[in-house]
Chain A
Amino acid sequence: MMKILVVDDERDMETLFEQRFRKEIRNHEMEFVFSYSGEEALTFLEGHLSEVVLILSDINMPGISGLDLLQRIKIKFKTPPPIVMMITAYGDADNYSQAMRLGADDFLTKPLDFNLLKQKLKNLPHDENPGS
C-alpha cells in the first residue's frame, strides 16, 4: 500500500483527495496523510519516513514554502529518499526550473488534473513496500 503525504495549507485539498481517491482508499491501495504546513510535514517525516513513499506538496504556503520543504527533504531524508512532486498554481518557468533544480521528481499545475495524477502514480517505480 502506498502511503502518500499531501502538504497543502488549503484544508479542502484533504476532502478533495479523499473523494477523488475514494475507490483506491476503500481498496486499500493507497493511504493519504495530510499536513497543513511544511513544518508539520517535516515533523511527520521525522517519525514516519520509512512509511512515506510519495510526497505531494504545494509551493505557496505560509511558513516554509514548498520549495524550501523540498530542499530539506532531499537533504535530510535520504534513506529512503521519497518521491516529491510539486503541485502549484504557479506554473511559470521560474518556479518550474527552481523546483527541478532542487530535485523535484515532478511538477503539476493547478487546477489539478486527477486523471493525469493517477496516471503518473501508476507509472511510479514499485518498491518493495513492507505494508502491502
Chain B
Amino acid sequence: MKILKIFCLFFLFTSTASVAQKVGGYFLQLNNLPADGIVIDKGWKFHAGDDTAWASPTFDDSQWQSADLSKPKTYFSEFNKQAIGWFRIKVYVDSSTSNNQAAILLTQLGASDWYVNGQRFIQFGRIIGPSKVQNYNPHEKPILFPGNLGDSVLIAVRFASTYLPKPWMFTKTNFPALTVKVAPWMNALSSYKAALVDPRMDIGYSFMSVGLGFLFILLYSFYPQQKIHLLFGAFCFFAGTIPAISSQITEGSVDVNGFSWITVALNLNGKIAGVLILSILALEITNKISYFDWALIFLIMVVDTILYIYFDESSAYLVFNAGLRSLFILELLRLCILAIIRGNYMMAVVAISSAFMNTAFTLSLYNIIQFTPFYSFLNNFIDFVTISIYLAINYARNSRYLGLQLAEIQKLSKENLEKEKEKQQILATQNQMLEEQVSERTYELNRSLKELQETQSQLIQSEKMASLGELTAGIAHEIQNPLNFVNNFSEVSMELADELKEELGKINIDPKDKENLEGITNDLIQNQEKINHHGKRADGIVKGMLHHSRTSTGQKELTDINLLADEYLRLSFHGLRAKDKTFNATLTTNFDEQIGKVKIVPQDIGRVLLNLFNNAFYSVTEKKEEKTHSQGSYEPTVIVTTRYLRANENAATGTKKDMVEIKVRDNGMGISQSVRDKIFQPFFTTKPTGKGTGLGLSLSYDIIVKEHEGQLMLDTRENEFAEFIIRIPVLP
C-alpha cells in the first residue's frame, strides 16, 4: 500500500530498524538480511555540484558534509544551491553468502545515477543538464545488488532535481529526497508486486466523483436556491481529485518542489473537503453557517495553511493544529447532536463519521492509534453516499410535498371556482328579486303619487270652493245693500206713481191730455213694477247662492230617517199651503221600521228631502192645473218610501255595504229625456223665471253623493211620474 507508506512518512515517525554500523559505513550480511530490509540512511556524505571524479572510490570525501537521508535538513540547504549533488557511502559486504541475492530498493524525488566502486551501475531517470532532469521514482522496485564486489563497496549517487527553487518559494524540508533500502530479493520482489495497485480503480473513482461534482454544480447553476448542491458538488469534486493528486506521489515521479506543491495541495484539498462537509452540516441542520463556523473555516483554510506551509515543523504549529482539529471535531459533534434532536439522522451520520475520522487522524498524530488512509477514504465514501441519499430523499420528499401542494391548490382552485359560480348565481337571483321588489315599490309609489295628486287637486278644489264660498257669501251680502234700495225705491216709486195718478184724476184738463198723462203715469208704474220684479229676482238668486255656499257643520249624527222624512214632508207641504191656499195633495208614507237610526248630517239630508218634496209638489200642482182645463179626475199624490238594504241583497247597489233607501215619487209631469241629462246641473231649472234658482237638485246631488257617498237616481216617464231615489251607505 503505497498511499499508506506516504502518509506514514508525513505523519508518523517510525522507528527504523537498527543495523549494525561500522564506523564510516554499513556492514551488510547479505544472506541474513531482515525480511523488511535495512534502511541505509546514515553515513552518507554529500556535496552539491557535479563532477564525475566524485564517483571514484579513491576520492577523498572527508571534507564533505555528513548527510542522514532520513533527515533532509542535513543536505537540503546544500542541495538547493545547485539542484544537483553527489551522495557517497562506503558499505561492507559479507560476500561469503553471495549466493543469496539482495535487492536495492529506492524511492527518490528526482533522477539519479548510481556508481558502484567507480563503475556506472544503474540510472534512474535522466540527468540531462542543470535543472534539466527527467524524474523517475522507482518506488522500491527491486534492483539486484551487484555481486563480486569484494568486501567494501563504495556507492556514489549523482542526484538531481528539476529546477532550482527560488528563495521565496516554499520548500518542504521534512521529507527525504531519496530513501535507500537493502532487502532480500524474494521478499522485496513479492512485496513490490503486492504493492502494485491497479490505477484504474483510482482513476475510475476520481472520474466518478469529479463527474458527479460537476453535475451537482451544474444543478446548482440551474437552481441557485439550493446551496447544498453547490457545496456537495464542490465536495465531490475536491474529494474526487485527492486520489488523482496523491497518485502523483505514490505512483508517479515528481521532484522535490513538485512534491512540496502536491503535499500542500493535498492538505488544502483535505481541508476543503472537511470545510465543505462542515458547511453542509451547518446549513442542513441549523439552516445557516454561524459566525463560529465561519471563524473555524477561516482558521482552517487560511491560518492553518499558511502555518503549514512555512512553520509546519515547529511544535507550536502542531499544538495549534491539534487544537484546531479538536475544535473542528467538537463542532461536528455539536452539529451531530443537533441533527439527532431535529430528527435529521442522515446528517447525523455524516457528522459522526467525519468526527470519527478526524479524531482518528488527530490521535494518530500523537501515535495513540494507527491511522490508515482507508479511514479517510471510508469517511469520504460515507459522506458521499449519505449525502447523496439525503439529497435524494429530500428531493423525493420535496417533489411529493410539491405534488401534494399542487393537488391541494388545484382542489382549492376548483372549490373556489365553484364558490364563485354559486356566488354569481345567488347574486343573479338576488338581483332579480331586488328588481322585482323595486318595480313593485315603484308601482306602489306611483299609485301613492297618483292618489296624493288626486287628493291634492281635491284639496285645492275644496280650498277654491271654500274661498269661493266665502267670496260669494261676501258678494251676496254686499249686493243685498244696493238691492235693498232698488226694491224699496221701486216700491215707493210705484206708490208715488199711484198717488200721482190719483192727483191727476182730480185735475181738470183736456181729456186727451189727461189720457196722455195717465198713459205716461201707467208706464211709469209698469216700469217700476218691472224694476221691482227683477230686483226681487236678483234677491232670490243671491239668497239661493247664500244657501248653496253656506258650509254645513258636516257632523254626522245618528238620525231617525223615517222621522226626518216625515218632518220635512210636513214642512214642505204646509209651507206651500201657506203660500198657496188652493194647494193640496195626497201624502203617502211607506216607512221601513227596520231602519232605525243612521249616521247622516240631518240638516243637509233634510234640505235635500225638502227640495225633492218641493219639486214633487210643484210638479203635481202643474199637472193639476193642466188637468183642470181638460177632463178627467186627477189625484195629485206624493209617496215617500224608505227601505233598509242589506249588503248581500240587491246586487244592483253595486257596493258591499248595507244601505238606506229613500224614494220620493210623484204622479206629476214627469221629466223628458232632454231635461233628464241636465237636471242635476247648477242653475238649471224648468220653472219660469223668478220661480226657481236651479240650484236645488245640484245642491242635493252634492250632499248625497259627495258628503254621504251615496247615490241619487231618477226614474221617470214623461207626463206620468217622477221618482227620485236616494241611497246612502250605513256607516258603522
On A, residues with C-beta under 8 Å from B are 10, 12, 16, 19-20, 89-90, 92, 109-112, 114
Contact = CB atoms under 8 A, between A and B. Distances in A.
A90 B543 CA distance: 11
A89 B480 contact: yes
Contacts of B480: 89-90, 109-111
Interface string B464-485: 0000000001000110110111
Interface of B: 473, 477-478, 480-481, 483-489, 491-492, 496, 535, 539
A90 B546 CA distance: 11
B492 to A, nearest CB: 4
Contacts of B478: 89
Given A89-B477, A89-B478, A20 B488 contact: yes
A111 B479 CA distance: 10
Nearest to B487: A111
Contacts of B539: 111
Contacts of A20: 488, 492
Contacts of B485: 10, 12, 16
B545 to A, nearest CB: 13
Contacts of A112: 484, 488
A2 to B, nearest CB: 20
A16 B477 contact: no
Given A109-B480, A111-B487, 7 more contacts: A16-B492, A19-B496, A89-B478, A89-B481, A90-B480, A111-B539, A112-B484
A30 to B, nearest CB: 16
Which 10 pairs of residues, A with B, have the shortest CB-CB distance?
A89-B480, A111-B484, A110-B484, A19-B492, A111-B487, A110-B480, A89-B477, A90-B477, A111-B483, A89-B481
Nearest to A90: B477
Contacts of A92: 473, 477
Residue of B487, B489, B492 contacting most chain A CB atoms (<10 Å): B492
B175 to A, nearest CB: 149
Residue of B484, B489, B492, B496 contacting most chain A CB atoms (<10 Å): B484
A45 to B, nearest CB: 25
A111 B496 CA distance: 20
B470 to A, nearest CB: 12
Contacts of B496: 19
Nearest to A109: B480
A10 B485 CA distance: 10
Contacts of A19: 489, 492, 496
A55 to B, nearest CB: 19
Contacts of A109: 480
A109 B473 CA distance: 15
A16 B488 contact: yes
Nearest to B538: A111
A89 B491 CA distance: 19
B124 to A, nearest CB: 161
A114 B488 contact: yes
A16 B489 contact: yes
A111 B487 CA distance: 7
Residue of B477, B486, B489 contacting most chain A CB atoms (<10 Å): B477
Contact of A89 (B484, B487, B488, B492): B484
Contacts of A12: 485, 489
Nearest to A16: B488
B607 to A, nearest CB: 15
A27 to B, nearest CB: 15
A56 to B, nearest CB: 13
A110 B489 contact: no
Contacts of A89: 477-478, 480-481, 484
